[in-house]
Copies of this chain bind each other. A is one copy, B any other.
Amino acid sequence: MSEEILKVGVVTVSDRASRGEYEDKSGPAIEAWLKRALVTPFEVESRLVADEFDEIGAAITELVDVASAHLVLTTGGTGPARRDVTPEATLAVCDREMPGFGERMRQISLQYVPTAILSRQVGALRGQSLVVNLPGSPRSIAEILDELFASIPYCIELMEGPVVDTDPDVVVAFRPKKK
């Protein structure tokens, strides 16, 4: 475990927002959630890209390799529409998949809508960073992070990142007892 401060990359993937036709509400929703949930210090680096395989991969790569993000959260581009390629772009720049993240996010969203199975979200690792695809809608982002984030502080510790603590009124960061 290191003494460094948590660095979070946020990547909004949206053709319309990247052309300025539309204000990005999803990236700010992630940042607002982190402000509400985390009691340990953190910094956010945000990027806004079009639904382009190469742009998405480049943003993740830069946030991990140059900005040294411990955690990268993307939003948008995970459905079945023709332009939705965020999961493919994510896996292409990662070394190892975390299949439990995609499964769990769909399980959480299935509590709200049966169409949750159309979300192709993945979690994966690039070096010492965890990359997670979140959905596009601010409401779904909060529904998922409220449950999913329980596992993320321990994941970051296992990857030798900083200690992250949360406000238990938002989400309890779980750490298994050593067996």
In angstroms, Cα B67 to Cα A148, docked, is 42
Measured between C-beta atoms, what is the minimum distance from A120 to chain B in Å? 6
Binds B, one of A35-43, A44-52, A56-64, A98-106: A98-106
A150 and B114 contact, Cβ closer than 8 Å, known pairs A80-B159, A98-B80, A160-B82: yes
Copies of this chain held together in the complex: 3
Query: Which residue of B82, B110, B118 contacts A155 across the interface (Cβ within 8 Å)?
Result: B118
Contact of A174 among B87, B114, B139 (CB under 8 A): B114
List residues 89-110 of chain A with CB under 8 A from any CB of chain B.
96-104, 106, 110
Contacts of A160 in B (CB 8 A): 81-82
